[in-house]
Amino acid sequence: MELNNTSAVVTGGASGLGEATARALSTRGVKVVLADLNDDRGSALAKELGGAYVHCDVTNTDQVTKAIEAAKALAPLWSTVNCAGIGWATRTIGKDGEYASAHDLDLYRKVIEINLIGTFNVCRLAATAMSANAPDVDNMRGAIVNTASVAAEDGQIGQVAYSSSKGGVVGLTLPLARDLAVVGVRANCILPGLIDTPIYGTGPQSDEFKARLGASVLFPKRLGYAAEFASLAVELLGNSYMNAESIRLDAGIRMQPK
């Protein structure tokens, strides 16, 4: 699929995996719209890349539509990468046997709402816009890459909400691709493992912590780079024969219970 002279929406595009993906797409001649909640960082990065920034909560249909329309104003929308998401760590029950100590149900709903429902919200709206594109030689009109996590398959203690949400993203991949085949839009999913993003912080303590995490990886024994995620995302967008796949990007790690 030709990426040059097209546009893309990248959710969570102001930092981490989203920023790396936006940068990689930009080098391929794609006009990128960063859909994020970090206005300062998003605006600065969009200016640097020659794209656009839209303040966007992925669960808000109007804001997602605004991001899609901003992309269409730059060039035909052929790519969408969903990187927006949140994490949460809480065990299902407390230690005191009290109902009140059980996992907060509103927090569980919030993680599902952003990570799973938000991802689907972007997919349904982006695919609708893509369906109006003039098809290429394969009758293709666009491609979507969603971000899950190895926690979808190797969920650790305390990750019940996060793993549920990311398992849902994996689960929607095949039926999404089947739904969208009729209009020539592909859908794939990446399950990243331990990737070095700003969530780990900076400084000596952060470096020591990341080194310990890296020691648990099969090979190479380090955290992944955001650029490695971006490389795979761009390949999944550009390779016309990649469809309905969920791919682990984890250097062989299998997460232990804790």
Distances from the Cα of 5 to the Cα of 11, 71, 78, 203, 231, angstroms: 20, 12, 10, 40, 19
Distances from the Cα of 57 to the Cα of 11, 12, 78, 125, angstroms: 9, 9, 21, 14
Query: b/e for 91-115, b at 16 or more Cβ within 10 A?
Result: eeeeeeeeeeeebeeeebebbbbbb
Query: Where would I find the beta strands (DSSP E) of 83-212?
Result: 142-147, 185-192, 195-196
Cα three-residue angle 149-150-151, rounded to 5 degrees: 80
Q: How far apart are CA 195 and CA 192, in angstroms?
A: 7
- How many residues can be counted in the chain? 258
Q: For this structure, is 53 an active site residue? A: no
Q: Cβ-count burial of 204 within 10 angstroms (0-12 exposed, 13-18 middle, 19+ buried)?
A: exposed
Q: How far apart are CA 75 and CA 73, in angstroms?
A: 6
Distances from the Cα of 168 to the Cα of 33, 44, 53, 101, 102, angstroms: 25, 33, 28, 26, 22
Residue among 162, 200, 225, 241 flagged as catalytic:
162
Catalytic residue positions, numbered: 162
